Amino acid sequence: MKRVSLTQHLVEEQRLNNTIPAELRLLIEVVARACKTISHAVGKGALGEVLGTADTENVQGEVQKKLDILSNEILLEANEWGGHLAAMASEEMESIHPIPNRYPMGEYMLLFDPLDGSSNIDVNVSIGTIFSVLKAPEGMGTPTEQDFMQAGSKQVAAGYAVYGPQTMLVLTTGHGVNCFTLDREMGSWVLTQRNMQIPEDTQEFAINASNTRHWFPPVTRYVNEMMAGKTGPLGKDYNMRWIASMVADVHRILNRGGVFMYPADARDLDKPGKLRLMYEANPMSMIVEQAGGASTDGKQRMLDIVPTKLHQRVPVFLGSKNEVERVTKYHQE
């Protein structure tokens, strides 16, 4: 089988669809290279002295792991100087990161969750990096947070790297979803899955069941129906899977179907959910929709939400189309 590299794939997609200008291709390649560096650090683990917490908190008030901070630095440093970005935003930083003015300013803006699934770092379970690319607004001067307030449907590219038994990069530029595997000997990303598709129906769901007592009625109803199995209203047995790392859960769903749910609940009514719209929900929703799945916040299509805050949180229901539509319908009723 002829091996197709990430660069070759991007060049061919540009020839075919004219959607990946050179600047965007360079940006994706730089992010992919940064993910390779993060993968190397993750792979070393205790040998690289990168495990454990850093005794600091991020803007979300979450205790940061050493690898969170390291991954954030790797992505910032890799993307600063190339000239294809106007600004960056990270789940780990309070405000945006404008490109230092000693470098040329580009036309794209990058958002990322440098290391998703932090609770799994120290126990050697799959974690990942999620990223989203927006176009800078026309005639933008000095970038501000307001320039990032674009609906997810405006993303020009989105992807994630998953650091598991293999390191993989899953990417969409708006024409389907493709997966690349890191060849560790050669140091190159090789195309291993083309045009990934999520089955419309599923018998698997992912949710943190320890929060059952806090759920709102639509979620309780839906999960109870699935738990009722063959004799219940849905007429089939379901399996539950929960990795507590969104990247790993979504990667499983992309490969074999399923529905991933991180609902809002009654614990803190001021918090509309736990996952971040711009660093997690939007990029994952673009990927899932491009693979034939669906994604909502329970009420509306995720990619239609116009953000009002950089670190806005949302409930998330994504994956196999028919299941997402069912749980969304229960919310609307």
Cα 172 to Cα 32, 53, 131, 291, 307, distances in angstroms: 13, 33, 11, 9, 21
d(CA 45, CA 67): 9
- Please tell me whether residue 80 adopts helix, strand or coil conformation: helix
The full length of the chain comes to 333
- Please tell me whether residue 91 adopts helix, strand or coil conformation: coil
Order of strands, sheet of 316-319, starting from the edge strand that comes earlier in the sequence: 239-240, 204-206, 259-262, 316-319, 294-296
To the question of whether residue 280 is assigned a binding role by annotation, the answer is yes
To the question of whether residue 80 is assigned a binding role by annotation, the answer is no
DSSP class of residue 120? G
d(CA 28, CA 11): 12
| Intra-chain end-to-end CA distance of the chain, in Å | 51
To the question of whether residue 208 is assigned a binding role by annotation, the answer is yes
SS (H, E, C) 206-251: ECCHHHHHHECHHHHHHHHHHHCHHHCCCCCCCEECCCCCHHHHHH
d(CA 261, CA 281): 11
To the question of whether residue 122 is assigned a binding role by annotation, the answer is no
To the question of whether residue 118 is assigned a binding role by annotation, the answer is yes
d(CA 63, CA 77): 23
To the question of whether residue 200 is assigned a binding role by annotation, the answer is no
To the question of whether residue 115 is assigned a binding role by annotation, the answer is yes
Residues annotated within a binding site for Mg(2+):
91, 113, 115-116, 280
Residues annotated within a binding site:
91, 113, 115-119, 208, 274, 280
Residues annotated within a binding site for substrate:
116-119, 208, 274
